[in-house]
Amino acid sequence: MTTSTTPRERLLDAAGELFYREGMGIGVDALCKAAGVSKKSMYQLFRSKDEVIAESLAAVGPAYQASLLPGPDDERSPRERILTVFERQDQMATESSFLGCPFLSAAVELKDPEHPGSVVARRLKQDLTDFFQAQLVAAEAADPETLAVQLTIVFDGASARAVARAQELGGIGTATAAVLLDAAGVK
Q: What's the average model confidence in pLDDT over 38-46?
A: 96
What's the CATH code, domain 59-183?
1.10.357.10
End-to-end CA distance of the chain: 46
CB atoms within 10 A of CB 11: 25
How far apart (Å, rounded) are the C-alpha atoms in residues 132 and 120?
A: 19
pLDDT band for position 5 (50/70/90)?
confident
Given this model, what pLDDT does residue 166 score? 85
Average pLDDT score over the chain: 95
Chosen CATH of 1-46 out of 1.10.730.10, 3.40.980.10, 2.60.40.10, 1.10.10.60? 1.10.10.60
Question: pLDDT tens across 96-155, in order?
Answer: 899 999 999 999 999 999 999 999 999 999 999 999 999 999 999 999 999 999 999 999
- Asked if 148 and 128 touch (Cβ cutoff 8 Å), the reply is no
* 74 class by beta-carbon count within 10 Å (0-12 exposed, 13-18 middle, 19+ buried): exposed
How far apart (Å, rounded) are the C-alpha atoms in residues 165 and 151?
A: 21
Domain ranges of the chain: 1-46, 59-183
Give this prediction's pTM. 0.92
